[in-house]
Amino acid sequence: MADFFSSVYEIFTTETTYSNGALLAGVLAFAATGEWVAERSGTLNISVEGMLLGGAFTAALGYHVTGSVAVGLLTGMVGGMLIAGVQAEMSHRLAADQFVVGLTLNILVFGLTGFLENEIAPDSTLARKFEIPLLSEIPLVGEALFWQRWPFYILYLLIPFSWWLVYRTRWGLELRSVGENPQSADVSGIDVNKRRRQSIYYAGLTCGLGGAFFLFGHVGPFENTIVGGRGFIAIAAVIFGGWTLRGTLAGCVIFAGALSFRISIQLIGYDINSELLQALPFIVTIAGMAIFAHRVRAPAALARPFIRGLR
Amino acid sequence: MSNTELGDAGTDETNTSSVPAVRLTGITKRFGAVVACDSVNLALQRGRIHGLLGENGAGKSTLMKMLIGLVLPDSGTIAIDGTTESIHDPLTASALGIGMVHQHFSLVDALTVWENVALGDAGRLDPKATRGRIGEIAEQYGLVIDPDKRVGDLTAGLRQRVEIIKCLRRDPSIVIFDEPTSVLTPEESEQLFESLRHVVAAESRSVVLVSHKLDEVLHATDDITIMRQGKVVDQRRSVDADARTLARAMVGREVSLRSERAALGIHSLDDNGLDDNGLDGNNLDRADLDGIDLEEGATATGHTFETADSDTSNIAPDIGPTAVPVLRIGKAVVHDADGVIALDEFSLEMYPGEIVGVAGVEGNGQRALGDVLSSLLVLSSGTVTVDGAPVPTGKSGAMAKAGIGVIPEDRHDSGLVLDMTVAENLVLVDQSRAASRGLIDQKRLNAFAVEMIEQFSIACSGPNAPMWSVSGGNQQRVVLARELSQEPKILVAAQPTRGLDVGAIEYMSHRLETAAATGVAVLLISSELEEILELSHRIIVMHSGRIVGEMPRAEANFEALGLLMGGAAA
């Protein structure tokens, strides 16, 4: 047992744990930020998984064609938004059930990228690392947060921007009202389903970026299985965070910590049942949800479709 | 009178003969087979408050929704200041200077006061300017409020204040108040009407007050339009109106239904039937032209009562001093989801074999009463006992087990599962007729269903017909068959004939009477006054979650009930 605790101590004092954690948290943060916006508008968008994977694939494709990571990030965004488009138009224009659409999309994207990967075999690579002087010298977390592959730094803009968008702009006010009380919003002259579609597109954009970041910041060559449930963890992070951006990001960090811990403990070579380890992040996620989920208030109209006249 | 009032308040002129602020001409709106508004004409003048009076479903809300672009008329024209306009969404209405203070729908609880006020505007979000504007309006109209409070934390009166500020902020020249006092205390209502006068007087705006409360319409308005079943039945100045005539015009619906039945020969009207019919027709025409004549109306009502009384199938049971109530509700208190009181120390005793009619304008606790007896609501305090044994409230199935059958208000919402078969729906409440040890016996189910289909003459292709393939009247028969087959001691019938045609209504009435004749206590909750008058032995009137009046049928009439329903003292 002492052996175990010394290993844990070792894990928490090595910088790799934090760099891994930051990478994983980064992917989750990209996805969860957009998901948070979508959920605040009233859509429980479960196609995050597909958006991440689609974004990663189109990013790889973009890089494959141009050899530029920047272009890859752009095509990743486009890929995410394409999937968002299907989700948004199906569920908030054609009034299809948002969960059925999301579920179908996740499976569809998985199949499609698997097929296209074999057909095209896009090659991609890791982006360059970029060190921010001084800040990167902070002990333990400095390197993790300020000596990353450069797409990571987009987060430092995306997160405050998203907060500003939701809380400080008219669009954000309307978006929140649509998620809380679509009938009232409608009466006030706001196009409810349009706002909801727009917020799904925003989620597609950030998830596409997240997928691209995952590719260029973490894995390098594209594989069909890379996303592996992280989209769902991002959804869990939003719920865990009580539909606040701060809480959502805290959720991302905690869940990513669990993922990173798993990797580190394997690297150290501590012998622990690997299946159990695989499950660890998800156990943390479920435990977190069980503890916090009932204490928070969801947007009142979350996951409820809006049809004028119905109440 | 109104002119002097306005003069006092500081307006220099009110010219009612000039072009009206709003003129609605021949407005018609149908929802499916229901005509919500039937060629309605209405003119609103500047500087005056126009009361739009009518029961729920009279079409007044639909009419106003067309004015603010939430509903589009099928035909007819809307002219604003003499110019014909097409109002296809709320933004257009707002641009034309039409604003509405909504009853419930327009505030978002999770947002703050200023955020709510800013909602629906265009341009950059400017918290400071919005807060400033709220302060200005507060000063101008005496509507003080803290702009940074969360709306969900405010009382109903303050929320409405936010609603009014939100509406006035855009400086509308035409303001519609939709049932503004339904959630307010009397003092709050008083304040509201005071500020309403300000709103009208200050900039000679035109105000519509939509309401079903007689008192407030009489006191707060200059002109009154009364709607019933989608039609304008009376228009007059408030000074020429009194509560009795308004009540009669608002609820006097005996005309259509009774004459329709007589025409179809369903109801056994005696020799007076034809006269009755003719008189009622006259009466209605006159009402359209110059208001209802009290004398003649009374005669007409008298006629209907005679015919109803001569119907021998509906004699009140003999309830002696030794009779034991089968249902006893003692001081029941219920709060709805918003914490508003829905039943306020409501007490009721029912005896076997009697039909008790619950009259009242919708939203005065009738639904809560039905929901309590359906085990859907928990009492905050009070008791429900059946045959002397207390029944736990809000526990699924407890009321049904105790012997209370329910014909729910909305058969699609809570009465039936449309995607299941007729047979399955027939055993939804109690599967014991068709199941043993948790397994459904198809043969027994079928046999039971066939029996019910025959007994209740349910028109369907067979026990396995999907519920949605059956017409509304027959769907209601399935509910009825299911509940009566339980052999309940008490049958709650909530709006049992809503949306049904004449024949189906007649069948339902007959069944309820038969049930009572066999000793079932029937609680008839209905917004159809004539239905209540026809079927009940005893009538109670609900207002604000309380019983405000109780009378045997023989002593009941439209006027008395109408006044009680409107909240006026008996």
CATH of the domain at A120: 1.10.3470.10
pLDDT at residue B316 in the model:
66
Query: CB–CB of A224/A117 below 8 Å?
Result: yes
Residue A161 Cα, gap to closest chain B Cα (Å): 16
pLDDT exceeding 90 applies to what percent of chain B? Answer: 28
Assigned domain for A264 exists: yes
More confident residue, A118 or B121: A118
pLDDT (average), residues B228-251: 85
**B 70-89 near A (Cβ less than 8 A):** 70, 89
User: Helices in B207-293 by DSSP H: which ranges?
Assistant: 214-220, 243-251, 254-264, 272-290
Closest CA to B529 of B483, B563, B569: B563
Rounded Cα distance between A149 and A276, Å, is 31
More confident residue, B562 or B450: B450
pLDDT at residue B288 in the model:
36
pLDDT at residue A1 in the model:
61
Rounded Cα distance between B100 and B166, Å, is 9
* Closest alpha carbon within chain A to B111: A177
Rounded Cα distance between B116 and B135, Å, is 15
For residue B100, which residues of chain A lie inside 8 Å, CB to CB? 187
Assigned domain for A262 exists: yes
pLDDT at residue B89 in the model:
83
Closest CB to A190: pick one of B70, B115, B120: B120
For the cut 50, the answer to whether the pLDDT of residue B144 exceeds it is yes
For the cut 50, the answer to whether the pLDDT of residue B270 exceeds it is no
Assigned domain for A198 exists: yes
* Closest alpha carbon within chain A to B94: A189
Rounded Cα distance between B489 and B491, Å, is 7
Strand partners, B225: B52, B235
B323 class by beta-carbon count within 10 Å (0-12 exposed, 13-18 middle, 19+ buried): middle
pLDDT at residue A59 in the model:
96
pLDDT (average), residues B557-569: 76
Q: How many domains does chain A have?
A: 1
Do B2-241 and B326-403+490-570 have matching folds? Answer: yes
Closest CB to B125: pick one of A173, A177, A308: A173
* Interface predicted TM-score of the whole assembly (ipTM), two decimals: 0.83
Residue B213 Cα, gap to closest chain A Cα (Å): 24
| pLDDT bucket at B2, cuts 50 / 70 / 90 | very low
pLDDT (average), residues B375-389: 90
Token reading at A1: 């047992």
Residue A160 Cα, gap to closest chain B Cα (Å): 18
Query: CB–CB of B52/B209 below 8 Å?
Result: yes
Assigned domain for A137 exists: no
Contact A185/B at CB under 8 A = yes
Contact B91/A at CB under 8 A = yes
Query: CB–CB of B298/B344 below 8 Å?
Result: no
pLDDT (average), residues B112-141: 88
Closest CB to A189: pick one of B91, B108, B125: B91
DSSP H or E segment with residue B550: strand B546-552
Rounded Cα distance between B562 and B560, Å, is 5
b/e map B111-133, b = 16+ CB within 10 Å = bbbbbbbbbbbeeebeeeebbeb
Residue B502 Cα, gap to closest chain A Cα (Å): 27
pLDDT at residue B502 in the model:
67
Residue where the block lists tokens 């659409």? A101
A184:B107 CB<8 A: yes
Contact A184/B at CB under 8 A = yes
pLDDT exceeding 70 applies to what percent of chain B? Answer: 81
Contact A136/B at CB under 8 A = no
Distances (CA, A) of B267 to B262, B270, B368, B449: 6, 9, 32, 29
For the cut 70, the answer to whether the pLDDT of residue B55 exceeds it is yes
Which architecture, in CATH terms, is B326-403+490-570? Answer: 3-Layer(aba) Sandwich (3.40)
Task: Identify how many contiguous H helices and E strands chain A contains and give both numbers.
Answer: 13, 2
| pLDDT bucket at B397, cuts 50 / 70 / 90 | confident
For the cut 70, the answer to whether the pLDDT of residue B102 exceeds it is yes
| pLDDT bucket at B311, cuts 50 / 70 / 90 | very low
Which segment of B145-149, B153-157, B265-269 scores lowest on mean pLDDT?
B265-269
Query: CB–CB of A264/A14 below 8 Å?
Result: yes
Taking only the tens place, the pLDDT of each residue in A166-224 is 999 999 999 999 999 998 898 888 899 999 999 999 999 999 999 999 999 988 899 98
CB–CB contacts below 8 A, A to B: 64
Domain spans of chain B, in order of start: 2-241, 250-310, 326-403+490-570, 414-487
Assigned domain for A302 exists: no
Residue where the block lists tokens 């349009």? A194
- Residues in chain A with pLDDT values less than 70: 1-2, 270-271, 293, 309-311
A188:B109 CB<8 A: no
Question: What homologous superfamily does CATH list for B2-241?
Answer: P-loop containing nucleotide triphosphate hydrolases (3.40.50.300)
Residue A211 Cα, gap to closest chain B Cα (Å): 33
Q: Is B214 helix (H, G, I), strand (E, B) or coil?
A: helix
Taking only the tens place, the pLDDT of each residue in B448-480 is 999 999 999 888 888 888 888 887 778 888 999
For the cut 50, the answer to whether the pLDDT of residue B9 exceeds it is no
Mean pLDDT of chain B: 79
Query: CB–CB of A98/A113 below 8 Å?
Result: no
Assigned domain for A310 exists: no
For the cut 90, the answer to whether the pLDDT of residue B300 exceeds it is no
Residue A301 Cα, gap to closest chain B Cα (Å): 11
Strand partners, A147: A131
**Full residue range of the structural domain in which residue A58 is found:** 8-124+144-295
**B 138-167 near A (Cβ less than 8 A):** 166
Task: Tell me the residue ranges of DSSP E strands in B300-421.
Answer: 327-335, 341-350, 355-359, 381-386, 389-390, 404-407
Rounded Cα distance between A119 and B21, Å, is 69
DSSP H or E segment with residue B294: helix B294-309
Contact A307/B at CB under 8 A = no
Rounded Cα distance between A232 and A247, Å, is 16
| pLDDT bucket at B202, cuts 50 / 70 / 90 | confident
Contact A188/B at CB under 8 A = yes
pLDDT at residue A135 in the model:
87
Rounded Cα distance between B411 and B470, Å, is 13
Rounded Cα distance between B169 and B131, Å, is 11
